[in-house]
Structure 1
Amino acid sequence: MINRRNLLLGSAVGLVAASLPVRAQHNHSMHDMPMNSGDHSAHNPVQRPIKTTKNIPAVSTKKPELNTQNYRPVITPNGRTLGYRMNEGVKEFHLIAEEIEHEFAPGTKIKAWGYNGSTPGPTIEVVEGDRVRIYLTNKLPEHTSMHWHGILLPWGMDGVTGLTQPPIKPGETFVYEFTLQQHGTHMYHPHADEMVQMAMGMMGMFIIHPKEPVTPTIDRDYAVLLHNWAVHPGTYRPDPNVMTEFDLWTMNSKVFPAIESLVAQTGERVRVRIGNLSMWNHPMHMHGVQFEVTGSDGGRWPQNQWRKEVTEIVGVGQTRDLEFVAVPGDWAFHCHMSHHTMNAMGHDVPNMLGVKQPEAQINKVLPGYMAMGESGMAEHQEHTDMGHMPGPENTLPMMMGEGNYGKLEMGGMFSLIRVRDQLGVAADLYEAPPETQARKVNQVPDGIPV
Structure 2
Amino acid sequence: MLSRRGFLGTAALVSASAVSGRVQAANIPEAPMMDKATMQPPLHPSSGPDYRPVVTLNGWSLPWRMNGDWKEFHLVAEPVVREFAPGMKAFLWGYNGQAPGPTIEAVEGDKVRIFVTNKLPEHTTVHWHGMIVPNGMDGVGGLNQPHIKPGQTFVYEFEMRNSGTFMYHPHSDEMVQMAMGMMGMIVVHPRDATFRPVDRDFVFIMSTYDIDPGTYLPKVSEMTDFNMWTWNSRVFPGIDVLPVRLGDRVRVRMGNLSMTSHPIHLHGHHFAVTCTDGGWVPESAQWPESTVNVPVGAVRAFDVVADNPGDWAFHCHKSHHTMNAMGHNVANMIGVSPKDLAKAVGKLAPDAMAMGSRGMAMGDMEMPMPDNTLMMMTGRGPFGPIEMGGMFTVMKIREGLARDDYSDPGPYEYPEGTVAHLVDAPAGQAPRQGNPKKTDQPDEMKGMKGMDMKGMKGM
- The answer, yes or no, to whether TM exceeds 0.5 is yes
Q: Within 5 Å, give how 1:51-70 maps onto structure 2.
A: 68=47, 69-70=49-50
1:207–1:268 distance in 2 versus 1, CA, 3 Å:
same
2:55 alignment partner, SS class: coil
**Displacement after TM superposition at 1:311 (Å):** 0.4
1:98 alignment partner, SS class: strand
CA distance in 2, matches of 1:46, 1:111: 15
Q: Which residue of 2 aligns with 1:335?
A: 316
1:366–1:44 distance in 2 versus 1, CA, 3 Å:
closer
1:430 and 2:412 are equivalent in the alignment:
yes
**Displacement after TM superposition at 1:34 (Å):** 2.4
Confirm or deny: 8 A CA contact 2:204 2:255 kept in the other structure: yes
1:192 and 2:192 are equivalent in the alignment:
no
CA distance in 2, matches of 1:447, 1:359: 33
2:363 alignment partner, SS class: helix
1:363 alignment partner, SS class: helix
Q: Which residue of 2 aligns with 1:381?
A: 363
Confirm or deny: 8 A CA contact 1:183 1:298 kept in the other structure: no
1:400 and 2:378 are equivalent in the alignment:
yes
Amino acid at match of 2:59: G
1:307–1:239 distance in 2 versus 1, CA, 3 Å:
same
**Displacement after TM superposition at 1:360 (Å):** 5.2
CA distance in 2, matches of 1:103, 1:192: 25
Post-superposition CA distance 1:18-50 (Å, at most 9, x none): xxxxx454xxxx9523299xx9x9x99797xxx
Unaligned 5+ residue runs, structure 2? Answer: 11-29, 435-459
Q: Percent identity?
A: 51
**Displacement after TM superposition at 1:417 (Å):** 0.4
**Displacement after TM superposition at 1:354 (Å):** 1.9
Q: Which residue of 2 aligns with 1:130?
A: 110
Amino acid at match of 2:401: L
CA distance in 1, matches of 2:88, 2:264: 25
TM-score for both structures, normalised by structure 1: 0.84
**Match for residue 150 of structure 1 among 120, 130, 152:** 130
**Displacement after TM superposition at 1:447 (Å):** 12
Amino acid at match of 1:80: W
Question: Structure 1 residues 107-116 or 428-437, which shifts more?
Answer: 428-437
Higher gyration radius (CA): 2
- Highest RCO, 1 vs 2 (Cα 8 Å, sep ≥ 6): 1
1:32 alignment partner, SS class: coil
Q: Which residue of 2 aligns with 1:169?
A: 149
Q: Which residue of 1 aligns with 2:335?
A: 354
**Displacement after TM superposition at 1:306 (Å):** 1.8
CA distance in 2, matches of 1:110, 1:302: 41
**Match for residue 417 of structure 1 among 395, 400, 406:** 395
Amino acid at match of 2:274: T
Q: Within 5 Å, give how 1:297-308 maps onto structure 2.
A: 297-308=277-288
CA distance in 1, matches of 2:72, 2:353: 57
CA distance in 1, matches of 2:56, 2:370: 31
Q: Which residue of 2 aligns with 1:32?
A: 6
Q: Matched residue pairs, number?
A: 402
Amino acid at match of 2:268: G
**Displacement after TM superposition at 1:211 (Å):** 1.3
CA distance in 1, matches of 2:279, 2:185: 14
CA distance in 2, matches of 1:173, 1:63: 28
1:35–1:400 distance in 2 versus 1, CA, 3 Å:
farther
Amino acid at match of 1:190: P
CA distance in 1, matches of 2:119, 2:35: 25
1:345 and 2:326 are equivalent in the alignment:
yes
**Displacement after TM superposition at 1:110 (Å):** 1.2
Question: Structure 1 residues 418-427 or 278-287, which shifts more?
Answer: 418-427
1:409 alignment partner, SS class: strand
1:403–1:265 distance in 2 versus 1, CA, 3 Å:
same
**Displacement after TM superposition at 1:88 (Å):** 1.0
**Displacement after TM superposition at 1:189 (Å):** 0.2
1:175 alignment partner, SS class: strand
CA distance in 2, matches of 1:245, 1:359: 29
Q: Within 5 Å, give how 1:174-253 maps onto structure 2.
A: 174-253=154-233
TM-score for both structures, normalised by structure 2: 0.82
Amino acid at match of 1:399: M
RMSD: 2.7
Q: Within 5 Å, give how 1:35-54 maps onto structure 2.
A: none
CA distance in 1, matches of 2:165, 2:292: 16
Runs of 4+ aligned residues of structure 1 deviating over 4 Å after TM superposition are 43-47, 62-68, 446-450
CA distance in 1, matches of 2:342, 2:256: 43
**Displacement after TM superposition at 1:269 (Å):** 0.3
1:257 and 2:237 are equivalent in the alignment:
yes
